[in-house]
Chains A and B, each alone.
Chain A
Amino acid sequence: MTMEIVKAKTSRDDKQMLGFMLIIVCYLVVALALPLYAILSKSFKNHDGDFIGFANYLEYFSTPALTYSIQNSLTISILTMVISVTVAFILAYALNRSCMRFKSVFKVIALVPILVPSLLPGIALVYLFGQQGMIKSLLMGYEIYGPIGIVISEVFFTLPHALIIITTALSIADSRLYEAADSLKTSKIKTFFTVTLPGARYGLISAAFVVFTLTITDFGAPKVIGGGYNVLATDIYKQVVGQQNFEMGAVVSLVLLLPAAVAFFVDRLVQRKQVAVLSAKAVALEPKPNKAFDLVMLGYCLLVAVFILGILFTCQYAALVEFYPYNLTLGFTNYQFDLMDGGGWDSFYNSLELASWTAVIGTIMVFLGAYMVEKGKGFNMGRGLFQFLAMLPMAVPGLVLGLAYIFFFNSPNNPLGFLYHTMGILVISTVTHFYTVSHLTAITALKQMDREFESVAASLKAPFHRTFRKITVPVCLPAILDISIYLFVNAMTTVSAVVFLYGPHTNLASVAVLNMDDAGDIAPAAAMGMMIFYTNAVVRILHGFLTRGVLKKTQLWRIR
């Protein structure tokens, strides 16, 4: 008997799929791995590009003014984490486990912060609690500029992210557990601590890490409302834009990369556990009415809604008031962006262009990549590399990515240098920055399809691209549309990666908010911020209609 190991012949399909996958791997190497390598090596060099070992790091850690920011960053992030997760948990609990009214309204309101740049809550807080704030007295003499302002802004900014994760965790609860607890005459409070909390624990941990990462890497809030309170993210910006000290910027970047990366990997571990919980066959829980409880929950949701909408209305008010607090007539003076520094209305149109390109190119690339890596065969090393590269962007703060791009693309011997300052590099950086979540959405949708579709198609001699077009794309269309709106909205609001990359002709709306605020034109900054919000809101609504229309037309099969 021959004991030769059988090596499968690769079919033409396999080869083509491999080819596509390698193209996207190449993209990720150029747009992610190489820039990260560039920033790493930069941190070991001096101004003239000579290798100096850990000298930059030594300088960093012996400068208390700089290392103090580590402590500040951690303080802010942990505080935000605790507050945001708590607020989100109660909110999710109200939306999942009570019978209060207006649930869907509150759900929409709670997701609003996703649609605005993280700079916006800071601006609102200035109007509310600043030197001449409308309700300054509520702070009882405390200063809004600094940790208080940052934490409030970050809670606003991170709340929807935490809410989405915790809602998922709560919604997979098994009603049989609650019936069991009920039949054992367990008190409601005890049931909460013995059934509800443990059931949601992975969701809570995951939400905590996501909030922590978002906060420690966010740059918008501390920039606007941080005052003299330095954090790692603002230090990077100051080192690079203020002092042109790129090497030190690289060092701070790597310091910031560490906690973000750790939080990310721990979160991945936890998520894997969550899957096991999910796959158990559970019976969905139907909440029962309870007047007092429902009323308390309604009150709580109202409070959260007031917080979120209050910030939004304040910004809109600030944008419309002629000259706060001296001339309170309303008008559109502040919308004359062309009269200010910051790029004018062009920056708004640039943002629209960036968001559209990012949505289109990003969606195609992400979904194709996910398909190839999920459904292709063989070449497991390449597949592993792809998965790793696709997960990496989540662990890389936007500022670090942006700075890495400067080092990589702006280096004189890079043939891709022509991209610098163009719309092209903005699209590349944004697609890369938001790659992970999109990739995971695509993978989840692909995994939900019967894994034998491809086997059947192969037996019917259908080439993979036919099955991809005829079956995979139509079946995954809802997920594909979700990816595109996610990319669009984030491209509109992002500041961190692009702030280092925009050029004189490619200024962006979100960056304009930052720059106008920096220059003291706070009202126009608020006006521009609200423009971003309205754009995202409109696109979101259009997306809703489109999704529904497309589903109606192409997905008749979903209706039974």
Chain B
Amino acid sequence: MSGQRTNSYLKIRGLTKKFGRFTALSDVELDVDEGEFVCFLGPSGCGKTTLLRAIAGLDIQTYGQIEQAGKDISDLPPSERDFGIVFQSYALFPNLTIAKNIAYGLENEGHRKSDILKRVTELLDLVGMPDQSDKYPSQLSGGQQQRVALARAIAISPGLLLLDEPLSALDAKVRVKLRGEIKDLQEKLGVTTIMVTHDQEEALTMADRIVVINEGVIEQVGTPEEIYHTPATQFVADFIGTMNFLPANAIGKAAMNDLKVRIGDIELDCDYDEQLLGKQVLASIRPEDVVVGNNHDPADRNVIEVKIDNIEFLGAFGRATLSSTQLGAVRFMADFSANLMRAEKISRGMTISVSLPSQSIRVYAI
């Protein structure tokens, strides 16, 4: 796992969380750099919130250490840690005005009234909500409440900002807008941020690095590009974006350092770990990486004749379901842009040749 770095702001080592007999997180290792925006991504119930709450000290881990800014905080209660938090429910104090909500943390720090007022005004401007300070939370829209919750969390200038699915209660349009705003704000403040989400688009657009979690285990840590283009495990490949999985045999000509997989009657060039040689594997390729017609590299030998069984129109592109007698019963999908389809007159029932570029194929053990 590539979660470890040196000199990082937040260090998590051997973190395990048990609820009775159930292990919600097991042996999590992770490093987060100062100023970084990290997303925890994974399916529902995988342990994202549990990890976030352990970092906050709200539900302390069973085993393992957490270090923040060089200080061991493993067993500290939340009040002795340095973080601001925003929950999915926002948890705004309903009986306090917006201004009072934002000032809540500042008042605990014992600032002067006039200073607090100034800072609150600043923060309201920062989150794009000037002139709303005397309203109560129930008088605001969901998106506005979210902004107030964010302002309240950053008011005390925490070293670490924790966001638990902050956008999932909002409707799609507002969500997209707030994504950008939160990211901009985070960059402006430079605050180290961890956001939990189960929405991959959110993670891909916002994060500097994504931590993919599955059943309490970190599957992969990497930049959005790494996660998308070189998924480390079958789970990640399947969870992010769309992926074709083709059952195959890993074969190879060792002398030429030439690795291949066999699917039906076809052999495809590709890279994989030589340990997989001779084993049953899954060869994977994203639909958009399947290249059509003559515009493939002539040096690439991964060309197959396929029949277009079906085309699903999806606006900017069409998703074709392809089959081939050479592949046997296996079918796979390819995305063709609307332009291409028009230019090549691609339609249902046609037979065309496509290439599966070897650098786009990833092979996973079964």
Contact = CB atoms under 8 A, between A and B. Distances in A.
A432 to B, nearest CB: 32
B77 A460 contact: no
Interface residues of B, number: 41
A493 to B, nearest CB: 34
B79 A557 contact: no
Contact of B77 (A3, A14, A557): A14
A460 B152 contact: yes
Interface stretch (B57-65, B229-237, B293-301): B57-65
Contacts of A6: 60-64, 74-75
Question: Interface residue tally of chain A, by bracket?
Answer: 35 or more
Nearest to B13: A1
B75 A455 contact: no
A471 B56 contact: no
A375 B337 CA distance: 56
A455 B87 contact: yes
B108 A461 contact: yes
B252 to A, nearest CB: 37
A194 interface: no
B76 A9 contact: yes
A10 B60 CA distance: 12
Q: Main secondary structure on chain A at its contact with chain B? A: loop
A447 to B, nearest CB: 14
A453 B89 CA distance: 10
Interface stretch (B132-140, B242-250, B272-280, B321-329): B132-140
Given A5-B63, A10-B77, A13-B79, A460 B108 contact: yes
A557 B63 contact: no
A9 B75 contact: yes
Nearest to A557: B136
Contacts of A460: 84, 104-105, 108, 152, 155-156
Contacts of B91: 450, 452-453, 455-456
A556 B136 contact: yes
Interface in B1-51: 14, 27
Interface string A467-483: 00011001100000000
Contacts of B304: none
A466 B95 CA distance: 14
Contacts of B138: 557-560
B158 interface: yes
Contact of A459 (B14, B74, B85, B94): B85
Given A455-B58, A459-B158, A460-B105, A11 B77 contact: yes
A444 interface: no
Nearest to A560: B138
With a 10 A CB-CB cut-off, give which of A7, A450, A474, A475 has the most chain B CB atoms: A450
B290 interface: no
Interface string B82-99: 011101010101111000
A436 B135 CA distance: 38
Nearest to A4: B63
Contacts of B94: 475, 557-558
A336 interface: no
Contacts of A14: 77
B110 to A, nearest CB: 10
Nearest to B17: A6
B109 A461 contact: yes
Contacts of B344: none
Contacts of A5: 62-63
A459 B83 contact: yes
Contact of A3 (B63, B83, B136): B63
Contact of B14 (A1, A9, A556): A1
29 contacts: A1-B14, A1-B27, A6-B60, A6-B75, A8-B77, A10-B77, A11-B78, A11-B79, A450-B87, A450-B89, A455-B58, A455-B91, A456-B152, A458-B79, A459-B56, A459-B158, A460-B84, A460-B108, A461-B105, A461-B108, A461-B156, A463-B108, A470-B93, A470-B104, A554-B95, A557-B95, A557-B137, A557-B138, A558-B138
Given A4-B63, A456-B87, 16 more contacts: A6-B62, A6-B63, A8-B57, A11-B78, A11-B79, A13-B79, A450-B89, A450-B91, A455-B91, A459-B56, A459-B158, A461-B105, A471-B95, A557-B94, A557-B138, A558-B94
